[in-house]
Structure 1
Amino acid sequence: MSNLVNVPKNGSLVNSNSNQNFPTLSNWLDDIFNRDLPSVVTSNFNTGITLPKVNIKESADDFTVEMAVPGLKKSDFQIDIDNQVLSISTETKEENKHKEENYTRREFSYSSFKRTFALPESVNDEKINASYNEGILSILLPKKEEAKQKPARSIKIS
């Protein structure tokens, strides 16, 4: 017999004088909710897209936003600019129907995300372009001419 004391989620100790052959309702519920769900239940539980990771690079001429979003098509993306805010979103839906003996099994899949970024005023929003290659969405945000870093130069003293 174990000498360990069962401590429920709420942190209160179980009455040590209770008959261990008859668990209390509280212990029974804690037992159910503390148990790991079988892999059959959890295997397809979270198949949606999580918030994708983003890299933002700055050069003298532009900013580049790179987003890791494998498994999508470029037609799945919606990229908008409104009031100096860049919005990148996607929404995918899939429905599979399998007809078998006496029933039809339907499996639905839905996933979406939306990331927004405030653009600096130095970005020329008329010349922004995007590409999607091998799971990476790249958005090029060119800087306005007056915002581009000018090369260093020497000034002669007269």
Structure 2
Amino acid sequence: MTDTSPPVRAPLSPVRTRLSRGATVAVIAIAAVIATLLAGIALGSRDISPLEVVRILLHPDGQAYNSHVLWTERIPRTLLGIAVGAALGASGMIMQALTANPLADPGILGVEQGAAMFVVFGIMFLGVTDVSGYFWLALAGSALAASLVYLI
């Protein structure tokens, strides 16, 4: 019988102390969004320093001019901009997922053309002149165009 040595165990993998790549990207993205929020709120026709913005956010003073400007104009504008950007990103992602095409845009399904055609017809034949009318006509035209493309 031959003499054998005890089995050699593989060395343990080193303990990972760094953040993973996804976590690093998430931290950088969150920091960029916060910086953009502060810049969107602080910058305008009358610049307000970032420290003043933070002070007003933490301790609102309804009588001060800067506080009034921030709470009635700049904060709603900035939040609406973020919401619209998120909605556009989500709609683009949905369009790409539906067509299984990473380069898809609204022109593939005729969404842009249907919206434009309905707005033009509304102006020509219905006499629509207000922006809300354009919006509803564009929404109906784009929905109809996309539906017709899917039916084909």
Larger strand percent = 1
Name the one with the larger helix percent: 2
- Tell me the TM-score normalised to structure 2 length: 0.25
Which structure carries more relative contact order (alpha carbon 8 Å, separation 6+)? 1
TM-score by length of 1: 0.24
